[in-house]
Amino acid sequence: MMTDILSVLTAENLLFLLDGLKMTIFYAGSTILLSICLGLILALLRSYSLGFWGKLAAMYIEVLRNTPLILWILGIRFLTPIPPLWSGVVSLTLFETAIIAEIIRGGLGGIPKGQFEAGHSQGFTFLQVLRFIVVPQCFRSIVPALLSQVITIVKDSSFLWAVAIEEFTGKGMILMGRFTSTAQVFTLFALMAAVYFTINFLLSAAVRRQSAKTGRKPTLEDLSAVTA
């Protein structure tokens, strides 16, 4: 059994998995940055626009939130001309943007309307009130929820192996085909689980630390991604 375990934990295999982990970080990092930017736009449109753009934002959010991520991954990969590398970023971003938009919208809903009145009394325009007063307060209040969604995004990136994108899980599945014994397969699964656990545990610790700084304990919603 020890021989089987050591046959998995070779330098070659670990470097192979490390290449996949780098891709996971790339996909998760790109998705997080793009989703926050696009999610902020959608949240603002849905919260403060009653016209066409507000309705369009609401429709986008509801459609994406109520359909499985894997469908978007498959659709973007096989039904569009987007290169495989970027199809993963696009599909994850499309889906996660809707989730993050709702998180931001929740934060915006918690800002008292008096903030707008105070801003207008100082000569600020509506957009200036949003930029300098409302949005900064919103993000301070939703940091724990955003961090928990980051955890979810890291885990969601593992779905990309279903379309042959070689991120961490994809690399693991490739290695899986090289092993035959139960001990080898179990060792590989345990190694992959340990890596995901370490990353997500550190992120969940950041959620708790940030929650402590804001003066409240993490809510079930804040930490939902840890147990999802």
Residue pLDDT, tens place only, 112-128: 888 888 888 888 888 88
pTM for this entry: 0.84
Residue 79 CA neighbour count, 13 Å, CB half: 7
Q: pLDDT by residue (tens digit) across 132-147? A: 889 988 998 898 889 8
Whether 82 shows a pLDDT value over 80: the answer reads yes
Q: Which of 25-29, 35-39, 195-199, 209-213 has the lowest mean pLDDT?
A: 209-213
| Cα separation values, 203 from 23, 62, 64, 99, Å | 18, 27, 25, 18
* CB-facing half-sphere around the CA of 72: CA atoms within 13 A: 20
Q: What does CATH list as the number for 2-227?
A: 1.10.3720.10
User: What local confidence, expressed as pLDDT, does residue 226 receive?
Assistant: 38
Calpha distance 81→214 (Å, rounded): 45
**Half-sphere exposure of 186 toward its Cβ, with a 13 Å CA cutoff?**
7
**Amino acid (1-letter code) at residue 204:** S
Among residues 89, 80, 113, the alpha carbon closest in space to that of 38 is found at 89
> Tell me, what's the pLDDT at 222?
45
At 220 the pLDDT is: 42
CA distance 92 to 115: 34
Reported as half-sphere exposure (CB side, CA atoms, 13 A), residue 68 has a value of 5
Model confidence at 4, pLDDT cuts 50, 70, 90, reads confident
Please tell me which residue, 226 or 146, carries the higher pLDDT value: 146
**Residue type for position 29:** G
How high is the mean pLDDT of the chain?
86
